[in-house]
Amino acid sequence: MNEPAIDSGGGLVRLRLDIAYDGSEFAGWATQEGQRTVAGVLEDALSTVFRTPVILRAAGRTDAGVHATGQVAHVDIPEDALGHAYPRSARPAGEPEFLPLTRRLARFVPEDARVLSIVRAPAGFDARFSALRRHYEYRLATAPYGATPQQARFVTPWPRPLDVDAMSAASRHLIGLHDFAAFCKHRDGATTIREMQRLDWTRDGDLLTAHVSADAFCWSMVRSLVGALLAVGEGRREPAWCASLLDATKRSSDFAAAPARGLTLVGVDYPPDDQLAARIHVTRDLRTL
């Protein structure tokens, strides 16, 4: 069994949660007063089960309408409340420790959000600051009729012709460590320097998918990247234009962010357990070019 992370105050057990949700009816991940959010409904359910208020911290604070199949979060539970996670009867040999809790949460959480698994977090784990990279996919339905009814909530219809070769060429200009200010909504004190590790396109019939991976993303960055690349794909801009955007110092008004519905957080990578704490320090350091 992994050693749980205890905060500096002691008496807390840190749990890792792997989470999926359909973001269509959520006002994003982060808790907001008077809004239905993913963190809000999950915190309510966890607080009910553990009979104490809890706060979730996520690897990616997705915007309104954005989905996830591979979100990761952590929560710190008072050690004396942890007993509420266990069934009264003995747990079958070999059954994961928090499988009963996973089943129980399914009764409290709405159907458009699911906690897929729960484990004790290793020492030094932080869902946000320990992460090495996040992986997103943006899906476009390019059929003349747009998206099928089965795709409608998760895929953006784009029936207009796209030059995927030009989009791929433009994408290559954006790989590496850059200042992505042109693609980010401004936040006071937040850096816009990121390391883009993957940005490419694949096609499966009429479904066109952008695969986007970076050490971190700023607010609306993925949708803005896709929006700029669509401008190239439609012939409104040349591929080299995307490279010129990296010289900008603020959000560009030359393109619109792609709609939220096509975007899904599909995974988060973490280093080996013995490197988790060190990764936090790297993540918190101010990035420079």
d(CA 50, CA 42): 12
Higher per-residue pLDDT: 153 or 2: 153
pLDDT at 10: 66
Closest CA to 45 of 64, 73, 10: 73
The residue annotated as part of the active site, out of 18, 63, 179, 215, is 63
pLDDT at 202: 98
Residue 236 lies in a domain: yes
Q: Give the single-character DSSP code of 72.
A: E
Same domain, 95 and 17: yes
Percent of the chain with pLDDT over 70: 96
| Domain range for 48 | 12-130
Tens-place pLDDT, residues 9-37: 469 999 999 999 999 999 999 999 999 99
Same domain, 126 and 137: no
Same domain, 155 and 236: yes
- Determine the residue type at 27: A
Tens-place pLDDT, residues 37-68: 999 999 999 999 999 999 999 999 999 999 99
d(CA 38, CA 19): 10
Same domain, 215 and 123: no
d(CA 66, CA 68): 7
Place 189 in a pLDDT band, splitting at 50, 70 and 90: confident
Percent of the chain with pLDDT over 90: 85
Following CA atoms 111, 112, 117, 123 in sequence, which dihedral angle do they give, to the nearest 10 degrees?
-130
Mean pLDDT of 101-114: 96
Same domain, 77 and 103: yes
Tens-place pLDDT, residues 120-148: 999 999 999 999 999 999 999 999 999 99
Place 236 in a pLDDT band, splitting at 50, 70 and 90: very high
Coil, strand, or helix at residue 147? Answer: coil
d(CA 38, CA 34): 13
Residue 16 lies in a domain: yes
Residue 59 lies in a domain: yes
138 is annotated as contributing to ligand binding: no
| Pick from 158-162, 187-191, 226-230: least confident | 187-191
237, pLDDT greater than 60? yes
200 is a catalytic site residue: no
Count of C-beta atoms within a 10 Å radius of residue 195: 15
Residue 65 lies in a domain: yes
Task: Please give the tally of structural domains in the chain.
Answer: 2
